[in-house]
Structure 1
Amino acid sequence: MINKFTDNKLLLIAIHIIIGYLATFTWFPKPFGLGVIGFCVFFVVKAKNNNEESFLLAMYIAGAEVFIRMTKGFVFYETGKYSVILLLILGIFLGEFKQKFGVQYIFYLLLLTLGIVFTQVPDGESIRNAIVFNLSGPVVLGVAALYFYKRPIKIETILNSLYFMILPIFSMIAFLYFRTPEISEIVFGGGANFETSGGFGPNQVATAIGVGIFIIIVFIVLKVKLTGFLFLDILFLAYFIFRGLLTFSRGGIITGFIAMIFFSFFYFLHKKGSLKLFFNYFLIGGIFIIAIWVYTSNITGGMLDNRYAGKNAIGVEKKDITSGRLDILEEQLNSFLISPLGIGVGNGKFKRELSDKKITAASHNEAGRLVEEHGIIGVVILVGLMIIPLLNFFYFNNLQRAFIISFYLFWILTINHSAMRIAFPGLVYALSLIKIKENDYNTSIENE
């Protein structure tokens, strides 16, 4: 059944572009959001996860989460994360493969709950919302790690999963096209732009687009046509980069390019004597990106240059190019020194609101949140999460490392600019734990 989707890639891409247009109508998002979740659960149960349907559809939901959120297609804000968790749990119990759970991730989930003991919220605030907002992402990571830990996955399946993930990102890109005003009417400044992000959080939108850019480049590098036509893949790549730059949100775009560079490097390193080819690709890609950058910068009146250079609208360098994230991180570290046992899940935001330093934003840095709210236990969790995938990385050849390191980098970079607001970083972290299988498809790639 999965083959019916993967054998008709261009058709499904076209359908998802149409879905992006339909999402501009208020009657469409809710039925679409509910229908997607219902279909995914039904499909996994019916197929009994015989062909990694849980994995593929969890990737689809993770790719769709920002799009469905921005169109208000979810009943609950965290529905995307709940759905990913449900699909992976179903996959664990329904599938033929008997997963051997990584005991370290069972302890990880248990340790997360200890931070709830210290949680206290101001009057009028919901303790449930505070806990869910901060722990739903880490729980996705834990459940996904239990599913994927040393799980044998073919490279063909990985590529299929990336294809499933990018489908709803095509819908989001189409939605942005139809919802964004004329560029000439938009006033660009020194901050992230909501008008070019569909009225939704530019940080999350740019993160999703950065993922899409990475996926298209992976297909191009491996000489596997995403749409069936190379020129069309390149055309979509150019437009994805253009839309990503227009959000004026830097983290997701930079993360996508860093992951792409490391993926390409290890892939070409695997093809012995191909470092020269890597640099040739790098040079051509650099010229391609510069051309898109120059075009985008011109239509934004040069504001794109200021944004990425950390300057405000008049060209004056900002004191903090991280948009306040360093101030929050400094407060989190100070809080850890004062309360090394942690201050409780969700308390960080409220603690800053009560301070006289006017730093009220919720944490965009998951590492800082873990250290502040979970204390020493948070430090142990963070160190463990960082080390385990690296051990997996050294086990494989360079072709397999190309996937492992890019998944790992996506996780560690995303949680440092966008915390775990969406399911993607937790899910992609778990992909750095898989055991990539050698197979005929793998061999065909190597012999390209």
Structure 2
Amino acid sequence: MFAMPFLSKIYALVIPLVGFYIVVRNKNRNHEVILVSAYLVGVEVFLRMTGGNLNNEFVKMCVIIFMFLGMLYRNFAVSSLIYGLFLLLLIPGILVATDTVEINFDTDLKKALVFNLSGPLCLGIASFYMYKRKILLTDVQKILMIMGLPIISTVMYLFIFNPSIKDVVTGTQSNFETSGGFGPNQVSTILGLGMFIFFSQMVLFPKSKKMIFINGIIFVFVSYRGLATFSRGGVITGVVMIVCLIFILYYFSNSAGKAKVGIVLGLLFLASLAIWGYTSMQTRGLIEKRYANKDARGREKGDRLGGREAIIGADYKLFLENPITGVGAGMGKELRKDALAQEVASHNEITRMISEHGLFGIFGLLILFVTPFVLYINNRQHLYFLSFFVFWLLTINHAAMRIAAPAFIYSLCLLSVQIKNPQKTESLH
């Protein structure tokens, strides 16, 4: 695809077509829609950086279609309608936006709504399907591996696109060259997810020492290229996900298991030192300044979040001016011009929901925050729950919902996961 970019568009069309065939052939008996959607989520950034995406919302729309297809075969839980309420709470913001556009004719309403609401819509529909679906822990592992395979392709493409990091890194800002020419924020996000996937593959259910070694090597390369993007959000998110998984494993392990977790933690620490040291050498120490929030000359930067503080402040001001209905879905970008003197899209889904949807947005966020934990009370065998929830929470705070990953990963929190296979458990096998 690097040599013949047109193949990327063919690839983008083939994935959903083959996925549709697999789902229909098997009548979604084993939740094939989850597996196909997982692959789409994993490949999205790769398609974008290679020009294969038909549009920015292509993968989100595909995931939504596959979730609906899955519900045709396997229906959905009545109690999942709480996410129907979440979607209904978005409607007032759409109506307010329509009124706003009548005053401001420069805004493309359709584009603004699709850009800002495709992520929440994808999350709501995926949550409908995933809500209390019974599944084995090993099957969740399978979902993660399928999601991780195209992330390997992404890393390989980055090495081909930019084989020598030394030649292109000259400052501490996010770097498009080391990110395959695409947005470092999104690339960092998917590579951070990849870090977690291959770490979990390495420490849980290892089939052989050979597979432990292979997953370990992939983990090292993904981590290295994630750091090289100079976009901190995704890497930090991946690290926090790994820490959460280690904490859960340690908490639920017996004394022998706790000793093994300790060994894993020690090896992870040594590997992290090696990855960081090599990256620092390749970037001539600039990566250290980046994470210390300094410029190339070692001077402290004025803000810690790359200008996001100003956007958050502007969102908060918009909410105070319109606390009930908000300023309207997608209107924040236009209205922030007064405060920031330029049109800037929000990187924070929480403040965007509050400013654009007002009180309705706050109620919607409460549903998203509370519901997974209510389910988790009776779903303690979901070892990935905390890591998945943290990925969603941290990602929407630094990268909003530009890609499908946070919406899909959030919905995986709602699965009813069981470690052993009781007689009536639905499995992906």
Q: What are the Cα deviations for residues 346-385 of structure 1, in whole angstroms up to 9, with x where unaligned? A: 11111112x1533532011000000000001101111221
Match of 1:116 among 66, 89, 94: 94
Alpha-carbon separation, structure 1, partners of 2:298 and 2:4: 39
Matched, 1:251 2:233: yes
Match of 2:270 among 276, 284, 287: 287
Matched, 1:344 2:322: no
1:65-80 to 2 correspondences below 5 Å: 65-80=44-59
Alpha-carbon separation, structure 1, partners of 2:318 and 2:238: 32
- Does the CA contact (< 8 Å) of 2:46 and 2:150 recur in 1? yes
Query: Equivalent residue of 1:153, what SS?
Result: strand
Q: Which runs of 4+ in 1 moved over 4 A?
A: 225-228
Give the C-alpha shift of residue 101 in structure 1.
4.7
Alpha-carbon separation, structure 2, partners of 1:123 and 1:305: 46
Give the C-alpha shift of residue 182 in structure 1.
2.5
Give the C-alpha shift of residue 110 in structure 1.
1.2
% of aligned pairs identical? Answer: 37
Query: Equivalent residue of 1:229, what SS?
Result: helix
Q: What are the Cα deviations for residues 253-309 of structure 1, in whole angstroms up to 9, with x where unaligned? A: 110110111112112322222434333322221121111101111110110001111
Q: What are the Cα deviations for residues 193-249 of structure 1, in whole angstroms up to 9, with x where unaligned? A: 000000000000011111111011111121425995222211111111110010001
Matched, 1:30 2:13: no
Query: Equivalent residue of 1:395, what SS?
Result: coil
Q: What are the Cα deviations for residues 72-119 of structure 1, in whole angstroms up to 9, with x where unaligned? A: 112222100000000111001123x65435121111111112211111
- Does the CA contact (< 8 Å) of 1:342 and 1:374 recur in 2? yes
- Give structure 2 stretches of 5+ with no counterpart: 423-429
Aligned to 1:18: none
- Does the CA contact (< 8 Å) of 2:314 and 2:339 recur in 1? no
Alpha-carbon separation, structure 1, partners of 2:415 and 2:94: 30
Aligned to 1:179: 161
1:24-423 to 2 correspondences below 5 Å: 24-95=3-74, 99-119=77-97, 120-121=100-101, 122-225=104-207, 229-273=211-255, 274-340=257-323, 341-353=325-337, 355=338, 357-358=340-341, 360-397=343-380, 400-423=381-404
Query: Equivalent residue of 2:89, what SS?
Result: helix
Alpha-carbon separation, structure 1, partners of 2:72 and 2:198: 33
What TM-score do the two structures reach when normalised by structure 1? 0.89
Match of 1:435 among 394, 416, 419: 416
Alpha-carbon separation, structure 2, partners of 1:268 and 1:193: 37
Alpha-carbon separation, structure 2, partners of 1:184 and 1:259: 29
Alpha-carbon separation, structure 1, partners of 2:305 and 2:207: 37
Alpha-carbon separation, structure 1, partners of 2:383 and 2:343: 39
- Give structure 1 stretches of 5+ with no counterpart: 1-21, 442-448
Whichever residue aligns with residue 83 of structure 2, its letter is Y
Whichever residue aligns with residue 184 of structure 1, its letter is K
Alpha-carbon separation, structure 1, partners of 2:188 and 2:217: 19
Aligned residue pairs, count = 416
* Cα 1:363–1:235 shift into 2, 3 Å: same
Give the C-alpha shift of residue 431 in structure 1.
1.0
Query: Equivalent residue of 2:336, what SS?
Result: helix
Give the C-alpha shift of residue 311 in structure 1.
0.8
